[in-house]
Amino acid sequence: MVPKAEAAYPQSTDPMRVKQVYLDMIHINEAWAAAGDAKTSMVVAVVDTGVDLTHPDLAGNFVEGTNLLQSGKKPSDDNGHGTNVAGVIAATMNNDKGITGIAPNAKIMPIKALEADGTGGEAKLGEGIRYAVDHGAKIVVLSLGLNKYSDYLANIVQYAEDHDVLLVAAVGNEGTSVKYPAAYPTVLAVGGVTPDKHADSRSNSGPELDLMAPWDVYTTSLGGGYQYQDGSSMAAPQVAAAAALVWAKYPGMHAYQVRDLLKQTAEDLEIAGWDAKTGYGLLRVDQALTQPYTEDRFEPNNRQDKAAKLPVHASIHATLSSAQDQDWYAIDAAYDGAIALLLRSGDSSGIRVRVDSGETYTSGGAADAGQTFTFPVRKGRTYIQLQSVDRTRKTSLSYSLSTDFLIYQDPFENNDKQYKAFALPDRSQTIRGTFHKKGDLDWFVLPIEKSGTMRLRLSVDTARIDPVIFLQKEGEKGVTIDQSGDGTTEISSLMELLPGQYYIRVSNIKDYSEPITGEYALVIEYNPKLIDPNEPNDKSYQATFVGMFSEYEGLFHKNDDVDWFEFRMNKDGLAQVSLTNIPSARTLFATLYDSSLKEQGFYKSQYGADSLFMEKALDQGTYYIKLQADKWFLSQMYQLKAGSYPLVSGFIDIDGHWAVDAISKLTQQEIISGYGNYRFAPDRSITRAEAATVLTRALKLSKLRQLRFSDLTSSHWAYDNVAKGVQAGLIDGYPDGTFGPDRTLTRMEMTQMLARSMNMTGKRRGNSPFNDVDESYWGIGILKQMWADGWISGYPDGTFRPDAEATRAEFVTMLAKVLNR
């Protein structure tokens, strides 16, 4: 026997039902089966562009509506959007035409409030809602939105709530803040999900979001046809239609109960519980029609760790079951600020509210008007606890709770007037502020002492701000910068500034004067025109004299600007010139001249590099540097520094070193060399390959043996010298078959290598001359002999440190001593 529920709403046999994939996502077949025989024709008002009143899949499903744009004319659709919405809700079922609406028994009240291009204002929108309420609609779907808060529209929304009419609205499709009227607490705000149940990136989100429904639909179109459509404006009518099914089955429900039932039966998405991206989850019409409604959908929430998540903008109904019951809520704030909590209780017994920051508030039990408590919150989570004031109470206590968020007052207040402008330093900076009150304006004053350039950039993090910049130099006419729209960034041109007081006013567009939950960022890019302290120095005879190791600054004020500098070498040596702080988009050219202006060198910085380094060995005398750039720059100074170092045997790092004599002697004999940059690096550890090379040169070895070390091939730079040293028996490898050419030489290996060059084999007699080398050490014999013959000595503490790394200076000094024996 077929249940009556299935007889009332059989599965659709309409030919295009297969294209309505979104119906399967919300489990419509199960919902129809659960709808029972409820045939009440719920009236759903579509406040939109009108509806195609002759569409074959909609005709007969209308009640009288109105055209608010052209009085006396029918609310016919001249855009197509309203027809799309109506088909999602109430396209006729099983008429062998097209598609099926979610609530095919519902009646559409077409209200034309939008122009043919889909645009409209709050006045007509509010008028449309009021008409729907006054003419019997139980549900109003609003697939449109505005960024602007409106007291007028807020009152209209409350009018609908007071008359037990449910409002359902699309959140918008810009990937930003939820639009109004969806953002009002008593309106069901609906976003859209993709087929894989993720929030579409274009679906607006935020603390006002309630439910999600499929983003893509196949629905009726203007002219009697059908089409695919997408957007949150196609998701909203799905929720409105679901509400019609629920209300038809449970006609005794109030609007807030239908609203709560749809939330509590939604399919959780992404994060458990409510979240700003997916609200309470995906619409599940089947669960809304099969799961029982609970007056308190947040239970169990009697402990802080079980606190129910609430958005900062919410309107809820719940119950305290007894005097012992506690209701905990967690509210996540995106900014510092305050929460205004409006509490209404079912009778006069009162409810105590505790905030986790320590504040306690008690309602007086004013059941009608309620009481509002406002308490500060920090960015992040705040916990709220509710409990009955009457500790002997045995019965339950119902209450309603509305929350609103008030963003923090920025630290620059009070600066709403030009004469109260907040003084800023004359530099580049970023200012973050808020519009925390109605009509808030933020004035700043920037005292400019040096001529320069400035660019202003004003960005916002919410579409509810349409930012405007006003800039005025004191005593002159101001300029307004407002080229973009809601939620965008305003950028000024690059402006030339002369010294003076500059006033900057940051505001929301005039019509958007309400407090805004969001921040703006004002970026001031100020670059003073710098003055080159060395000018004029465009000719060699005007050259700026450079003291050694002192820093000089300069810039290029035009493309053909040239800067000359002069320095003096008091004796032969190595001159070093460094240029730093070069702008990243500039290339610097440097030419070095002697006193007769004969070129000695040309240097060029790499594009994108911020420095240029030059060094050259020069004789005593006067020299000039000519600097040029590929393009002028005024916003930063390059820095020039010159220095000179004496060259000893061609090196700048051995003057005054304890090993200078040995290094100089072996350099002159061409036994040793540096690293090709005027540096010998005497205190650097010497490698085994370097030591073998120096020793081979010193002893003028010529015979070599083919090597079989696993880590030394013939391609190594020191292969031949190592081979000569091995052939002469001066060096050898390690037991594992390696030589370790790039390993550092130890002091013991150095001593052994030089001992072998003198045919010393070591001796065993006598005690160890060093307190850190005992008789078992493998090189003890060599150390005894070399010490006894005066070739080596240890450190003042009596140690030799045989396994420490030998330096280049130590090796050269010991080798020079051997060669001079």
Domains annotated on the chain, with CATH: 4-290 (3.40.50.200), 304-407 (2.60.120.380), 418-528 (2.60.120.380), 540-645 (2.60.120.380), 660-819 (no CATH)
CA torsion sign for 670, 676, 682, 688 is negative
Q: Write the Ramachandran bin of 287: left for phi over 0, alpha for psi from -120 to 50, otherwise beta.
A: alpha
Q: Are 189 and 279 in contact (CB under 8 A)?
A: yes
Please report where in the chains the tokens 């069901």 appear, as a residue: 188
Alpha helix segments (H runs only) across 175-284: 232-249, 255-264
Query: Which one of the listed residues 203, 221, 233, 315 is annotated catalytic?
Result: 233
In our burial notation (b when 16+ CB lie closer than 10 A, e otherwise), range 391-403 reads eebeeebebbbbb
User: What backbone torsions phi and psi does residue 557 show, to the nearest 5 degrees?
Assistant: -85, -5
Query: Which one of the listed residues 12, 14, 48, 442 is annotated catalytic?
Result: 48
pLDDT at site 265: 95
pLDDT at site 7: 41
Tell the burial category of 130 from Cβ atoms under 10 Å away from its Cβ (0-12, 13-18, 19+): middle
Q: In the chain, what is the straight-line distance between the N-terminal and C-terminal CA atoms, in Å?
A: 122
| H/E segment holding residue 158 | helix 151-162
Residue type, 660: V
- Per the omega criterion (within 30 degrees of 0), is the bond before 414 cis? yes
Q: What CA–CA distance (Å, rounded) separates 552 from 547?
A: 9
Paired tokens of 547: 């003291």
How far out from the chain centre does Cα 472 lie?
33
pTM score, whole prediction: 0.66
Q: What CA–CA distance (Å, rounded) separates 424 from 420?
A: 12
Please indicate whether residue 134 is annotated as part of the active site.
no
User: What backbone torsions phi and psi does residue 72 show, to the nearest 5 degrees?
Assistant: 90, -15
Number of alpha carbons in the 13 Å side-chain half-sphere of residue 780: 15
Per-residue H/E/C for 735-800: CCCCCCCCCECEHHHHHHHHHHHCCCCCCCCCCCCCCCCCCCCCCHHHHHHHHHCCCCCCCCCCCC
Q: What is the DSSP letter of 540?
A: G
How far out from the chain centre does Cα 137 lie?
46
For residue 419, the SS3 value is: helix
Residue type, 40: T
Positions of the chain with pLDDT under 70 = 1-9, 37-40, 348, 364-369
For residue 57, the SS3 value is: coil
Please indicate whether residue 685 is annotated as part of the active site.
no
Please indicate whether residue 48 is annotated as part of the active site.
yes
Residues whose CB is less than 8 angstroms from the CB of residue 230 and which lie 6 or more positions away in sequence, other chains included: 192, 215, 216, 217
Residue type, 169: A
Torsion angle (degrees, nearest 10) of CA 566, 567, 572, 575? -100
How far out from the chain centre does Cα 383 lie?
28
pLDDT at site 37: 66
Q: Are 471 and 504 in contact (CB under 8 A)?
A: yes
Query: Which one of the listed residues 81, 286, 315, 563 is annotated catalytic?
Result: 81
Q: Are 240 and 168 in contact (CB under 8 A)?
A: yes
Q: Write the Ramachandran bin of 363: left for phi over 0, alpha for psi from -120 to 50, otherwise beta.
A: beta
